[in-house]
């Protein structure tokens, strides 16, 4: 056998009985079966008898080979080629292609920033309004009084307006404000 052939992929295998990895090769035969070559002999597996881990960056890929253990390789291009030859597409290959393209990563980042901005500007106020409408009136009054009290203590100071101006406001505002109470 020509181990340098592009149809053979180098890696290591564990037989399921021992923890020590052994040098091995993978190939796909003419029937589309995956063949594991160890010590000069091959064990072949139909498509239903094996599965491969998804690609995650540059971490090794694993082939789970039923009762025969597993095969590990870092040859990602070779794994993709073997999957094509075995007529098995990796369902998440498109995700790896997206995450390895700068423009798609930047587009996703921009989308996240825009979505976050939209949620802050429109989503949170909308949710707050829905929640506020569900509160009983007594709770709304209690919360309002607490917020106004906190504002008075931390941010608002007594007025510096002359007494005549204060009196004019006191005479005008009760008619305009309805049931609102205020003090100057």
| CATH number (domain holding residue 77) | 2.30.29
> Is the residue at 87 inside a domain?
yes
Q: Decide: 15 and 70 in contact? Cβ < 8 Å.
A: no
16-20, 23-27, 82-86: range with highest mean pLDDT:
23-27
Q: Are residues 174 and 115 in the same domain?
A: no
Q: Are residues 60 and 25 in the same domain?
A: yes
> Is the residue at 4 inside a domain?
no
> Is the residue at 3 inside a domain?
no
**Which range of residues forms the domain containing residue 87?**
9-92
Q: Are residues 107 and 154 in the same domain?
A: no
The better pLDDT of the pair 59, 10 is held by 59
pLDDT of residue 26: 80
Beta bridge partners of 51: 64
Residue 75 makes CB contacts below 8 A (sequence gap 6+) with: 9, 10, 11
Q: Decide: 26 and 79 in contact? Cβ < 8 Å.
A: no
pLDDT of residue 1: 43
Is the pTM of the predicted complex or chain greater than 0.75?
A: no
SS3 147: helix
Q: How many domains, in total, are found in the chain? A: 3
Q: pLDDT confidence of 6, banded at 50, 70, 90?
A: very low
Q: Are residues 127 and 143 in the same domain?
A: no
In tens, the pLDDT along 63-102 reads 888 777 788 888 877 777 777 776 666 666 666 667 778 8
> Is the residue at 14 inside a domain?
yes
């Amino acid at each position: 056998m020509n181990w340098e052939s592009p149809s053979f992929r180098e890696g290591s295998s564990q037989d399921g009985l021992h923890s020590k990895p052994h040098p091995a090769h993978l190939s796909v035969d003419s029937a589309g079966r995956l063949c594991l070559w160890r010590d000069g002999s091959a064990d072949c597996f139909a498509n239903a008898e094996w599965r491969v881990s998804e690609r995650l960056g540059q971490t090794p890929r694993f082939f789970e080979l039923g009762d025969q253990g597993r095969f590990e390789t870092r040859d990602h291009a070779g794994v993709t080629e073997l999957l094509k030859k075995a007529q098995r597409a990796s369902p998440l290959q498109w995700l790896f292609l997206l995450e390895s393209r700068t423009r798609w990563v930047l587009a996703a980042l921009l989308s996240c920033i825009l979505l976050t901005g939209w949620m802050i500007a429109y989503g949170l106020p909308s949710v707050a309004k829905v929640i506020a409408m569900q509160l009983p009136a007594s709770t709304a009054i209690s919360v309002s009084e607490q917020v106004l009290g906190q504002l008075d203590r931390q941010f608002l100071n007594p007025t510096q307006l002359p007494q005549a101006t204060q009196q004019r406001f006191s005479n005008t505002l009760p008619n305009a404000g309805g049931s609102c109470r205020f003090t100057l």
